[in-house]
Amino acid sequence: MRLLCGFGALALLYLALIPIGLIYSTVDSACAGPGCESSTLLRLALTVIYAACAAALLGTAALFAAYALGGGLRAERRLPGALALTGIVVGTATFSLFLIAFPAGGMFALSLAAATYLIVRVTGGGGASDSRDPSTNGAGPAAGSSNGNRAVPGNGA
């Protein structure tokens, strides 16, 4: 598992090069001419978005590397939270970039997501959550059986 975390740290470091390069291109644009100017507010927003992505990726890579190099249980417990935070930051950044490029489409997607969330919250998620069988990973009774137990070789079934 530690070897896999080491490879994960390298992959996250490599992925962090993307927002770092985008920060550089936002600050020092190679484009010159009248059509290349963008507002200071937009450049600032893009720099903050890219910096947040780079920080999340670099922080998660550091935690992966710390665990791979012999970190204990404490380092292991931090990994899921770091991955979740990275996913949230990258997802928010992607949506923000979509919103900057296509404001009407972004607002439509945001309203659709809010409506879906409210519908799921009001209806309770479909109502099937109480009838799930925990012995089958929530999938319900197995096909062809009346009690939900799956036939597994070696258990007499």
Q: Give pTM, 2 decimals.
A: 0.67
Burial of 23-47, coded b for 16+ CB within 10 Å and e otherwise, reads beebeeeeeeeeeeeeeeeeeeebb
Half-sphere exposure of 36 (CA within 13 A, CB side): 9
Query: Which residue ranges make up each domain of the chain?
Result: 2-29+39-125
Per-residue pLDDT of the chain (157 residues; tens, 9 = 90+): 888 889 999 999 999 999 999 888 887 777 766 777 778 888 888 899 999 999 999 999 999 999 999 877 887 888 889 999 999 999 999 999 898 889 998 899 889 989 998 998 888 765 555 555 556 555 555 555 555 555 555 555 5
Scanning the chain, the segments in alpha helix (DSSP H) are 2-27, 40-68, 73-101, 103-123
Residue the block writes with tokens 């292991």: 76
Residue given tokens 């197995």 in the structure block: 142
Distance (Å, whole) CA 68 – CA 64: 6
